[in-house]
Amino acid sequence: MFKDNPIAEQAINSMLKTKKNMYITGDAGTGKTTLLNYFLEKTDKHVVVLAPTGMAAVQINGETIHSFCRFSTDPGWVMMEEGKIHKLRDNRKIKSIDTLLIDEISMVRSDMLDALDYFFRINKGKMRLPFGGVQVIFFGDHFQLPPVLRSEEKTIFYSKYDTEYFFGARVYQQLNISYTKLTKYYRQTDETFIRLLSYLRYGKANEEIIDWVNRKLLNKDKSALKNTIIIASRNQDVTNTNYKYLDELEGEVVSYRAILFGTFKDEMCPAEKFLVLKVGAQVMFVKNDIDKRWVNGTIGQVVELDKESIKVRIKQKVVEVELASWQNHTYRYDEEKGELVKELTGEYTQYPLRLAWAVTIHKSQGQTFDECEIDLGSGAFVYGQTYVAFSRCKSIEGLLLSKPLRLRDIKTDPKVFAFDQSVGWNN
């Protein structure tokens, strides 16, 4: 599958055939998710797949770190210092694990990674080995959105850790990580745009580059763009935009209620509990179609609605949209098989659509759009925001700005840049 991509081919061989601890990264659109899914499909290792958020866990059919470890909502350092990380009564499911895979590692805080390490050590019964001797494979992009560290936590947190990023965890230095950086682009093909994204990623943009971006994208003619989605930095702006445009449409509102089976927490729901649409509404698909009529992030326009059916125009083609299901899983030890098995704990069924005149930068991470309008509001306020927003689009021809880009919007954390420069990639 990766014959035209030697770096990816080497990575998949190492994942499948060795016990190396690995970190696999790459610019946005370089195939990290494809590689992850291929490994899970081909491996015969006993793998547990975890993610820092419910949404990320659902996308990879995994489980959240908190759910799997039965962690409280306390910070990782609190759980460790107050003895809140316990050996499970029945820890055979942990003992049977060969490999721990964590997706979106950039959003895992350093103290949480240490807490996860301690959990595996005590449940594996191997206190001297990182993660109790389990192979760990991290996927993610440290230049994208960072872990959350609330302002009230900062003083005490920084008295214990140098950085909130995963590479600041105490256990990280013990892992002897093998580093892979994917370099083949699949989302973008234009070299000028790829070079611009590199400037944004590494924080190397200057006034000349900013001026060029603004001249090219700020007063762009929208008439040639048919399905532009606004990528905005604030939730409220997105909500207001979507319902403003919906209200302006004539016609009857039709709503669709999601069907829930078992356990599915609100923050894990990949589609709206109550999907509200009108004919003419701009929508985004939030799940890949098995028949490949659309992918996660495809934009279309509603052309027909009734209680049992939704039809959407994608470019020049009208498709009928069926209900889709997402599953929530946990892991348990199967006594008869003597191994870890994945168990279904919940299923969420809804039409795989959401209103899509606007979306937040956080919600856009991991998605691909043909046409984007970027609205940073009063400015980027989180490291990686501008890079994530720009890199969602396939081409610079499909990109425009609602407000001028400023040099101070290019926010790259110096700690991330220093980490990136300090390791040996693809060695």
More confident residue, 296 or 208: 208
Q: 331 falls in which pLDDT band (50, 70, 90)?
A: low
Task: Give the residue among 110, 130, 109 at the shortest CA–CA distance from 119.
Answer: 130
Run of H or E including 193: helix 191-202
Q: pLDDT tens across 185-207, in order?
A: 888 888 999 999 999 999 899 99
Amino acid of residue 37: N
Taking 70 as the threshold, does the pLDDT of residue 235 lie above it? yes
Two tokens, residue 361: 């930068």
pLDDT score recorded for residue 50: 93
Q: At 427, is the pLDDT very low, low, confident or very high (cuts 50, 70, 90)?
A: confident
pLDDT digits (tens, 9 = 90+) for 17-36: 999 999 999 988 899 999 99
> Which structure tokens are listed for 350?
């809804």
What's the pLDDT band for 47 if we cut at 50, 70, 90? very high
**Per-residue confidence band for 208, with pLDDT thresholds at 50, 70 and 90:** very high
Note the pLDDT of residue 6: 93
pLDDT at 224: 66
Biggest CA–CA distance in the chain, Å, is 66
d(CA 277, CA 267): 22
Burial 51-84 (b: 16+ CB within 10 A, else e): bbbbbbbbbbebbbbbbbbebeeebbbebbeeee
pLDDT tens-digit map of 67-101? 889 898 889 999 999 999 988 888 888 888 999 99
Taking CA 249 as the corner, what is the angle to CA 243 and CA 255, rounded to the nearest 5 degrees? 65
Is the pLDDT at 161 greater than 90, yes or no? yes
Q: Is 153's pLDDT higher than 70?
A: yes
Predicted confidence band of residue 340 (pLDDT cuts 50, 70, 90): low
Q: What's residue 113's pLDDT?
A: 98
User: What pLDDT does residue 221 have?
Assistant: 77
Average pLDDT over residues 247-268: 85
CA atoms within 13 A on the CB side of 253: 10
Category of 83 on φ-ψ map: left (φ > 0), alpha (ψ -120 to 50) or beta:
left
What is the model's pLDDT at position 187? 85
Instruction: Please tell me the distance from the alpha carbon of residue 262 to that of residue 239, in angstroms, as a whole number.
Output: 29
Q: Are 192 and 17 in contact (CB under 8 A)?
A: no
**Higher local confidence (pLDDT), 53 or 402:** 402
| Reported confidence tier of residue 315, pLDDT bands at 50, 70, 90 | confident
Q: What is the mean pLDDT of residues 317-330?
A: 87
Q: Which residue has the higher pLDDT, 248 or 381?
A: 248
Averaging pLDDT over each range in 101-115, 228-242, 287-301, 343-357, which range is the top one? 101-115
Q: Is the pLDDT of residue 268 over 70?
A: no
